[in-house]
Amino acid sequence: MNVLAIDIGNTRIKWGCGREGGWLRQGWVPSTRPEALAAEFAGLPAITRAIISCVAGDEVRVAAGAALPAVTEPPLWLEASAAQCGVRSSYADPASLGPDRWAALIGAWHVTGAACVVVNAGTTMTVDALGSDGVFLGGCIVPGARLMREALARDTARLAARDGSFGYFPDNTGDAIFSGTVNALAGAVERMARHLGEITGTAPPVILSGGDAALIEKRLNAQVVVVDNLVLEGLLHIATQPGV
């Protein structure tokens, strides 16, 4: 069974064609150009089913849906649920959890089968705690690196956008902004890891994905496992389960 998995985010639409055991092709287009998916999908092998996570607006969702190739089964637009693929949700309203976060949790559980902190660093960064029994304990959402820097440039008088690099003791404003952004992101992850470790008794690994993963990977005081396109991994795992 060939599966087309699509992760429609706020900045990029990532996709992969695969089957149980691995990917055949992957790619992405900007979220501002969902119609470009049609050309991306040209030449794919016959698709049995499509599974889609979408956190973008309705206009992008409709355009992406129109670009889908012919599929044997109706496309599945993922929604979070109370339990799926070994993961159970303790969210107050399970259905209100973003489908990207739900797919990433399932992908991470499939990778580790153990307690972990699941991080997707993109336009926003989500930091979610997964218990040793597969229960999603909860998580937080913070602005991503670009949004943080844009907020400073927009809402302050003397912190205009500028280039910078990371340093532990920055000596110029560009580096101070960049370093502050990285430290804020890394700090959110490390705090979650510490709290989860206090519950489980063992320091949990951090499963890290997203376009800004490289910004914080080396700044984390934790065991880090980088997984490219964790949401797609979760979508593929969901789609290849019997009865889904």
CA distances from 21 to 18, 24, 78, 168, 236 (A): 8, 10, 21, 42, 10
Which residue from 185, 236, 181 is spatially nearest to 18, judged by alpha carbons?
236
Under the phi-then-psi rule, with left for phi > 0, alpha for psi from -120 to 50, and beta for the rest, what region is 65?
alpha
Which residue from 29, 2, 24, 36 is spatially nearest to 14, judged by alpha carbons?
29
Q: What is the C-alpha separation between 205 and 224, in angstroms, rounded?
A: 6
* Residues designated catalytic: 100
What is the Cβ-side half-sphere exposure of residue 159, based on CA atoms within 13 angstroms? 15
- Start-to-end Cα distance in the chain: 13
Q: What is the C-alpha separation between 207 and 227, in angstroms, rounded?
A: 7
